[in-house]
Structure 1
Amino acid sequence: MAHRIGRPPREGSPAQGIATAIFAAALTTTGCQGMAMTQDSVPTASDSAQLGPLTEWPLRFLRHNFGITTYALQEYTVVYADRPYSGGPRPAREDVHPNSLNASGAGHLMIRNFPPPAVVKWKSRDGTPLEADVDIGEIFRDELVLYEAPREEISDRTPMVNPDIVMEINDRTINVYMRAYLSLKAPRIPDNRYSNSRNDLVLAWSRTY
């Protein structure tokens, strides 16, 4: 149906009075809704943590990435955040490249803190079957970012921190590490402008079974 545009009512007429009242009511209602939306849109302290450049310390994280690295075992399966991981025989860490652990990363991204514990089943180097539930949420229950850089060296322009959590299964031992990317105020190597960050692998938890 086509919409027609009629002539505006005469000034001072009853029709104009009605139109004015309707417009005023609509304006009042719109103003109230705008205020409510503004108030609702203000994030809580927990929701707003680390959504942009750093403004608060200590550093906290709301989401994390997850990965697995393995050594000195015959086979393994891990289920965490509804994603399965599995693999076959792996040599001891000392028989692999010396930087292999430090180079390990996380391929499962942006996991909301925290899913149920990781279910780990594996066979150690001598073939012993082992099982463990590793509670990532309990290990990082305070949601604090772990890092080794001195506070005074970290730039306030560090972007949002979604750290890597890396689980290492090594023979009969499970280690859990955190790696967080942090921008620095100045390069660590003066002549290398690309050395203005750190992402150290920090051990958070370890248990031998």
Structure 2
Amino acid sequence: MDAQHTACGGGRRGSRRIIATLVVASLTTTGCQGMADTRQGPTTADGRRIDNTVADWPLKFVQHSFGVRCYSTYGCTVDYNGFRHVSHSEDQLRPALSDVHPDALKNASVGYIGVRNFPDPARVSWRSKDGVRHDEQVDIGAIFADQLIVHEVPRDEISEGVSIWDPGILLVVDDRTISVYMRAFIPTKAPQIPGNPRSTHRDDWVLAWSRRY
């Protein structure tokens, strides 16, 4: 790593001049440009890069972040991509969504990042508010089979040439209903809040799928 950094940034002097020269020669053909390419954006299964600019319309994704929220449930557990995301008490009823905060979903974040499309279905187990046990599978890959980013921003309002990165997927268990939302940070040409120059983006949670059990 030190040798690569030096080759791109100016070359070493001293007793390792010959080694540094060889590293520079190697990186001239494959190094600095190659390293830059790896940061250009995600790629499809066949290696094509997805930058997700307006020119790449419609916007697609090849990996995502994931999160879970459970409301009005007992013992809610959710497993996805080999990881248990929540494991709540069997004896305590989780608060209702309306009791948590009016903007609880709006402000929800997802912290499990870099999930390649797509793992096996999420396994969801819980008891609804009436005490009935539910064990279900939610196939995230089937919900987003086209791998299109779900958003509500018209194409002509999105900033030109700005890459749009991995969207977040949020699975919400609310009593007897499971809902799946997607959110992507999408830069916009104009502020979304008049007079606020820091609001040139949209990052809404958009409902993609819902089912009552």
* TM-score normalised to structure 1 length: 0.75
Equivalent in the alignment of 1:78: 78
Count matched residues.
Answer: 171
Residue 104 of structure 1: how far off its partner (Å): 1.1
Q: Conserved in 1, the CA contact under 8 Å of 2:54 and 2:158?
A: no
Q: Percent identity?
A: 44
Per-residue Cα deviation, 1:185-208 (whole angstroms, up to 9, x for no partner) = 121223211100000110000011
Equivalent in the alignment of 1:160: 164
Residue 45 of structure 1: how far off its partner (Å): 8.6
Equivalent in the alignment of 1:107: 111
Distance 1:131 1:202, change over 3 A: same
Distance 1:46 1:187, change over 3 A: farther
Task: Work out which of the residue numbers 179, 183, 194 in structure 2 matches 1:179.
Answer: 183
Residue 157 of structure 1: how far off its partner (Å): 3.2
Residue 99 of structure 1: how far off its partner (Å): 0.1
Structure-1 separation of matches of 2:44 and 2:170: 29
Two-structure CA RMSD over aligned residues (Å): 2.3
Distance 1:207 1:154, change over 3 A: same
**Whose radius of gyration is greater, 1 or 2?**
1
Structure 2: stretches of 5+ with no match in the other structure: 1-29, 38-42
* TM-score normalised to structure 2 length: 0.74
Q: Conserved in 2, the CA contact under 8 Å of 1:49 and 1:61?
A: no
- Mean Cα displacement is larger for which, 97-106 or 168-177? 97-106
Per-residue Cα deviation, 1:39-92 (whole angstroms, up to 9, x for no partner) = xx9x77953342364431100000000000111111211110111021233111
The answer as to 2:207 corresponding to 1:199 is no
